[in-house]
Amino acid sequence: MQDTKHNPGFILGNVILGLSLVMLLFIDQLWAFLGGWAMGLWMVLAGVGMYFVMSEKRSSTLPD
């Protein structure tokens, strides 16, 4: 069995991606309040979330 323990960065990345998803659901209200900054904020949140998720270093499970 593989070890399923994840580092805190992976968990933080998923939380940030969840927050960006909720933000995307309410983008019309945010657009009225923030204007174009709402889309920029969403892109930054999604990018930072993906960075944390993808930055986890794992050893390859592929055979040599």
Does residue 47 surpass a pLDDT of 90? yes
Does residue 17 surpass a pLDDT of 70? yes
Any residues with CB less than 8 A from the CB of 17 and at least 6 apart, and which?
A: 45, 46, 49, 50, 53
Residue 3 has a pLDDT of 57
Q: How does residue 56 score in pLDDT terms, banded at 50, 70 and 90? A: confident
Whole-number Å distance between alpha carbons of 3 and 38: 38
Q: What is the pTM of this model?
A: 0.77
**Residue in the block written with tokens 């995307």:** 24
Residue 27 has a pLDDT of 93
Counts for the chain of helices (H) and strands (E), in that order: 3, 0
Domain boundaries, the chain: 10-54
Residue 12 has a pLDDT of 94
